[in-house]
Amino acid sequence: MRRVPALLVPAFALLAGSVSAFAPGTAAAHWSYLGAFAAMVGLAWVRMRTLRGPTRSGYAFIVAALSVWLAGDLLYDTLTWITGGLGEVTPSDLLWIAGYPLLAAGLVRLTQLRAPGRLREGLLDGLVMATVMAWLCWQFIILPAAEDQRLSLQVAVAAFYPFGDVLLFAAIAVLVLVPGTKRGPTPYLVGALALTLVGDIGISTLPELFPSLSRAVQAERLDGVLLLANSLLVAAVVHRDADRIADRITREQRLHPARVVFLGIALLVLPTMAGLHSFEGTLSRVSLVVSVVLMTTLILVRFVFVVREQERIRAVLAHQAEHDQLTGLANRPALRTMLEAALTRPRDDAFGPVLFYLDLNGFKQVNDRYGHAAGDFVLVEFARRLVAEVRPGDVAARLGGDEFVVLAEHVDSEEAAHALAGRLRALAAEPVRRGDEVYEVGVSIGLAAAGRLPQPDADALLAAADVEMYAEKTARLTSA
């Protein structure tokens, strides 16, 4: 089947929804809305048959939400036709309310796929803003509507719709705040959620603002808005890049200014309303306190996560600054720092500390014959053997290429130094094996003791050990 362009779906919804806007309450408006809605849901299910990959589960929740809402509309018409009229609460309300968590679950699933491991921050920020939104709905929509009424099924069901909108608001916040692509179907999803909020809030508040107008007429006027919102959800499903919404952004994203603005507004709303509004009822006061406590808790949790993440990043950067990226050994700057510290510490003997300069023999031949991956494997394996051999308190470092250094402070004689050099030389006696490949390497070692130098410092000790290492390497090549 030929794919329907995504933009064509909201254009079709605008055309069908305009009947509800200009002729509300008529049979033409009703059937135009219902027919268009059914056609779009059918189109979404057809598209679901071609979707593959992990995103399919997220879109399945969205299409299920649309189907549940359509089933609610059809059930309402059927019951009205059978009974001749329904009360304020109907079985359709259960279906209409059930669509909100389904839609939110689909959006969270898609967001989770495109930002694995990054959902937590956006979710916490979304919950902060949703807390404020929930309090506003409670204070200015639910409580006024429930005043002077006893607790009843009608009041309870009516309260579920604003909280369903809060759930969608949280979904919008998470979708926008979590890192990920903002192209393709994402604008359709954000627009759909925003229009759904506008339509639902309008249905809840317009009867209070314009009591002279019929509630049914006002609701049918807003059916066009909800139809357009649903069409944007369908457009996201049928979009040609629907499966790419889960594409991960590898580069680190900076903090978007809108995130700061939205969170700032959320933090200002409750204190501002507490100062400007008089809360006479017990429920109003309790709801304010609960909302403040919940929002403060979420902010503190978010703050703890941020601090821990910063500590982790600093630890990683500090480790990278002092260690060789390939082998994990200390690098040249770290070695110099530790060597200078070792030279300044008081000692009982006049021989150490001792520096061993190691250079691998035959490493270039391994690189040339087997490739750089094999060379890296040899370096990592030799570093592993080096770490296993050095004593507690000794430092193993990689200067670069195939050059390694061992700093040993607790060596008090020439004999002990040469004994340690022999053990280090034996590290290359066993060939390095990688699968079926065997790499033969050796090692040349030069040692320099601080007690044997007239003016021992870090540069002099490194230079002396380097000279000794090259002398041994030259002698080996000459004898060969």
Q: Which residues contact 134 (CB under 8 A, 6 or more apart)?
A: 163, 166, 291
Structure tokens given for 450: 């601080």
Look at residue 213 and tell me whether its pLDDT is greater than 60: no
Look at residue 435 and tell me whether its pLDDT is greater than 50: yes
Look at residue 345 and tell me whether its pLDDT is greater than 70: yes
The pLDDT-based confidence of 208 (bands split at 50, 70, 90) is low
Look at residue 319 and tell me whether its pLDDT is greater than 60: yes
Of the listed ranges 93-97, 300-304, 358-362, the least confidently predicted one is 300-304
More confident of the two residues 181 and 331: 331
Structure tokens given for 75: 């059930």
- Classify 66 as helix, strand or coil: helix
Structure tokens given for 182: 């903002």
Q: What percent of the chain has pLDDT over 70?
A: 85
- What's CA 381's distance to the chain center, in Å? 35
Domain boundaries, the chain: 8-318, 332-479
Structure tokens given for 152: 């009843």
Cα gap 27→110, rounded to integer Å: 38
Look at residue 76 and tell me whether its pLDDT is greater than 80: yes
Measuring CA to CA, which residue among 163, 208, 173 is closest to residue 194? 173
Out of 223, 243, 402, 466, which one is annotated catalytic?
Answer: 402
What would the mean pLDDT of 430-447 be, rounded to a whole number?
91
What would the mean pLDDT of 386-398 be, rounded to a whole number?
91
Task: Note if 125 is an active site residue.
Answer: no
Class for domain 332-479, per CATH?
Answer: alpha beta
Look at residue 454 and tell me whether its pLDDT is greater than 90: no
More confident of the two residues 390 and 212: 390
Look at residue 227 and tell me whether its pLDDT is greater than 80: yes
Could you please report the per-residue DSSP string of 404-425?
Answer: EEEEES---SHHHHHHHHHHHH
**Are the C-beta atoms of 113 and 55 separated by less than 8 Å?**
yes
Cα gap 165→33, rounded to integer Å: 22
Look at residue 20 and tell me whether its pLDDT is greater than 80: no
Cα gap 81→79, rounded to integer Å: 5
pLDDT tens-digit map of 132-189: 877 877 777 667 665 555 556 666 676 677 777 777 777 777 777 776 667 788 889 8
